Amino acid sequence: MVKIQRFFIKYKRQILITITILLILAEIFKWVFKLTLLYQILMAVAGVIGVIPIILTAISSLKVKLISIDVLVSLAVIGAFIIGEFNEAAIVTWLFMLGEVLEDFTLKKTRSEVSDLASMAPQTALVVQEDGSTEEEDVDFIDSGDQVVVKTGDQVPVDGKIISGSGNLDEASINGESRLVNKGVGDAVYAGTMLENGNLTVETTAAGEDTTFGKIIEVVEEAEDSKSHTEKLINRFAKYYTPFILIIALIVGVITRNFKLAITIMVLGCPGALVIGVPVSTVAGIGNGAKNGIMFKGSQVMDEMRKVDEIAFDKTGTLTIGHPEVSAVRVLNGDKAKIIKLAAAIEKKSNHPLANTIAKMDPFVIDAVVETVKGEGVIATYEQEKYFVGNLQLVEENTKKNAELEKIADDLSSQGDSIVVFSNRDQSLLAIFGIKDQLRPQAKKALLKLKKLGIKKLVMLSGDKQQTAEKIATELPLDEVHGEQLPSDKATFIKAEQQKGNKVAFIGDGINDGPALASANVAIAVGNGTDVAVDVSDIVLVKNDLKQVAYAFSLSKRTILNMNENIALALLTVLILFIGLFVGYIEMASGMLVHELSILVVILNGMRLLKNR
């Protein structure tokens, strides 16, 4: 039976064409040559050919105790044969098969928008050999540190850093940005992007599935398989709805003794548009997000995102560009050069944006044991001495209170500087770094857009002192600003807001954002975030553009609205068909035509979501 099923699936289009020709010939013999017997024979043959794959699928579903649409149609067509309505049987099976072919075509078109991503993944790279020559190798065999050459017109095969050359890159496959980006030595490049002009030598940081592009494909493929709450509900509904229609048809047939009416009810009651309408919307919505640099980790995330009415932002790397610069170094005790050297060496072992800023001040490297204190900084042990690099709380808790240090910290904070304090155990080496970060250029516009879309409350949560946080936030349309927030404080804030009945999204990028991301109704990570932030998030903004948050919110609302439109359209079609049936305007074949058209309409409606912005 499996082989026969495969045959009918493989040659579905050819079989549809054959049935179509038989139907046309039958009509010609009836209306041109008045050969009614030949008309009936051709209709019967067409009906038999058409019903075989439907019956086989129905048997397969019954084996797993599922009464599917195919069961309804099979019973209806067999009933049509029994009462001698061969033309009804032929037309119903033809329409059913036509609907399947059209459904396959449109769904293939929808899914291709997503699968195109996978086909764009680079497969090989020109790897620099020890003698300086290059050799083409599979990307799966490339390790971190390997150097690869990218020439004009080539696809960048790995994630990495440019070590020589420069050029203009098309990064649309990663972040949806249509403009070319000029990059040179020291800049990061991503697998899947295109080098439009120039030549590059890139030192690999990630290859294959570990690249940003590889993760996008993985997340999108997983998201396609996930189901929203509505989708699960519809599937459960359809599971019970189909047997319900079967029972109704049986009861009507017994009471009215009208066998044709009973089998017509079976055909018209098929929930095809209801079953297909929801997944086509979610696949199209997720595909649109992927094309625009927004990774939704499942359709259920869209369902949650559209309900969000409050958004909390981490500051550094989220509302700010995340490339802060040291604006002041105030030394209270010790040699300034030595302090900078040690601070820079210790901060090299941290991935916090503020730490990276200090790390760039000196190339000195030490072999220290470093312990991260979440939300406070790091404690380093080097040559039997302990050093503390972080916020004021970390230093004073582990050394001693210092009034002068606190006064300088207040002064710098009032100027909008973030504070990093360096100290050893006895504060014989003591200094404070003032670090300034710039707001993202699009931050204000993005937040205003969110307000316009209906977000009621925008909040900034920062580890900086309250003065610093408020100073930075003065240019933004925020409703609340909370400074001196430890990771646990951010999570506590979110839970408190949820207890008030708010649906809260949190946007962050660092390890210290993990608890807040895990507590939020929707966790959003920006693309340059740490692996931890990206892993625990529900949505990843590949492009570091805050306007993508508004687009993700808008797209979620449009996708769920589209899904509900399809549900309403499917149910309305069934209702109208039954009304038409009982008032005498709809018959089996015409009802089946309307049914198949409704399936096509919901698919086309879902495909509207594939359009960019």
Q: Which residues are catalytic?
A: 314
Per-residue tokens: 583: 């008032």
Strand order through the sheet with 504-508: 294-296, 539-541, 522-526, 504-508, 310-314, 457-461, 480-482
| Cα gap 419→391, rounded to integer Å | 6
Q: Is 203 helix (H, G, I), strand (E, B) or coil?
A: strand
CA dist 545 and 548 (Å) reads 6
Taken in order 562, 568, 574, 576, the sign of the CA dihedral is: negative
Structure tokens at 459: 């909040």
Residue type, 153: G
**80 phi, psi to nearest 5 deg:** -65, -40
**Both structure tokens of 430:** 């003591």
Query: Taking the CB of residue 270, how many other CB atoms lie within 10 A of it?
Result: 30
Cα dihedral 359/365/369/375 (nearest 10): 0
C-alpha–C-alpha distance, residues 594 and 277, integer Å: 15
Residue labelled with tokens 């065999």: 141
Phi, psi of 258 (to 5 degrees): -105, 95
Single out the residue of 511, 558, 487, 442 nearest to residue 312, CA to CA. 487
| Angle 190-191-197 from CA coordinates, rounded to 5° | 75
Cβ–Cβ contacts within 10 Å for residue 401, how many? 10
Alpha helices by DSSP H, 474-513: 487-499
Calpha distance 194→177 (Å, rounded): 12
Name the region of 379 (left: φ>0; alpha: ψ -120 to 50; beta: rest).
Answer: beta
Residue 155 near residue 139 (C-beta atoms within 8 A): no
Whether the Cβ atoms of residue 49 and residue 23 lie closer than 8 Å to each other: no
